[in-house]
Amino acid sequence: MDDMDFPTPDVEIESVTPDELKGRIDAGENITLLDARMESEYEEWKIDDETVESVNVPYFHFLDEDIDDDILAEIPDDREVTVLCAKGGASEFVAGALKERGYDVNHLEDGMNGWARIYEAIEVERYDGAGTLYQYQRPSSGCLGYLVVDGDEAAVIDPLRAFTDRYLEDAAELSSASPASQAQQDAAELDVDLKYAIDTHIHADHISGLRNLAEEGVEGVIPAAAVDRGVTYADGLTLAEDGDEFQVGDATIETVSTPGHTSGMTSYLIDGELLATGDGLFVESVARPDLEEGDEGAEDAAKQLYESLQERVLSLPDETLVGGAHFSDSAAPAEDGTYTAPIGQLEEEMAALTMDEAEFVELILSDMPPRPANYEEIIATNLGQQETGDEEAFELELGPNNCAASQESLAGD
């Protein structure tokens, strides 16, 4: 849509940066958005929140000088409206057409592409292990990652290629917040070594940043069980077996095999406090089992997922925090703003976790959401079987993640 050449508006249009819009939403402001993308794009992926009112009117309705009155009637004229599109070109044009008609409007700079570049690091306050643990959040797609920092060492779990430089920068900047001794911090002088980049599995919704970080000297770690899917670059990485441990300062990251979402799905227990579950278990749902073997293998994978959850995850102490690799619109953040929850709480709230195997398998196979957009190309890229440039990779992963089973049927009564 934004590849078109839109006329420059005759009136000056203020722009709002994605970070500014996110800050206003986080502050609880009432926001009105006019999304000028096509209806199919809007229905698949949009900015959504309790305080956000969103109206979809595609840009082409504004190309004629005489805009239909019925179209204008859909757009609130008693408040500020932020117009957005895919990349920012159409939204500025539409905002200009509305401002000429007396509307109070601005437009979102860089559109949904700009929204997809928001990436926040939030401290997991209930983490009581060595060092400090942060959860990365990408609100556009619900992707989550983790950074543990202790003294002069750090590790990132489930990094995204689009934010490769960010991890290296954050390892140094966020180390000053780590509860290491003053002597340790003085010795480090913020010269923090991002020691490990760890993937939980071969992702289907975003391009992994693990190989890019490995090129920067970071030790890349992938589950040994994932290599059989056809990983082409395993020789240059460390292969994590069940029970393997990785030391980050005084913090220990333990490998916990949890197959089901994929055959190589692996969780990582960070200093006994938080289990980074990848796509195995989320705070509002469990994994979908069909992205590796398709519909034919989904039932067997669902049975494997049930076993992993019951024997490897729910067997941990109730107070152990769970942090997945994604969150959906139905997920509620904890008081610290992270999408984490104790295992005991999830058992109480999620009926699927207390079912027997047959009920569990039937439930998660009964209502599977659409598969992630471009998932086959993303998987091929993450296996190393397809070369994908940075910009193309960014475009491939735009949109919702859809790596979970349907949330509606999984919650408790």
Q: Which residues are catalytic?
A: 85
How deeply is 404 buried, as exposed, middle or buried, from its count of CB atoms within 10 A (0-12, 13-18, 19+)?
A: buried
The DSSP 8-state label assigned to residue 102 in this structure reads T
DSSP string for residues in 281-317? B-SS-BB-S-TTTHHHHHHHHHHHHHHHIIIIITTS-
Taking Cα atoms as reference points, which of 124, 122, 90 lies closest to residue 108? 90
Strand partners, 144: 137
CA 407 to chain centre: 16
For the record, the structure tokens of 309 come out as 């959850």
**CB-facing half-sphere around the CA of 142: CA atoms within 13 A:** 29
> In terms of DSSP bridges, do strands 52-56 and 153-157 run parallel, antiparallel, or are they unpaired?
unpaired
Tokens standing for residue 327: 């969150």
**93 contacts 64 by C-beta, under 8 angstroms:** no
Three-state SS at 44: helix
DSSP state for residue 331 in the 8-state scheme: -
Q: DSSP code of 404?
A: B
How close are the terminal C-alpha atoms of the chain, in Å? 43
- Closest C-alpha to 299, from 248, 366, 348: 366
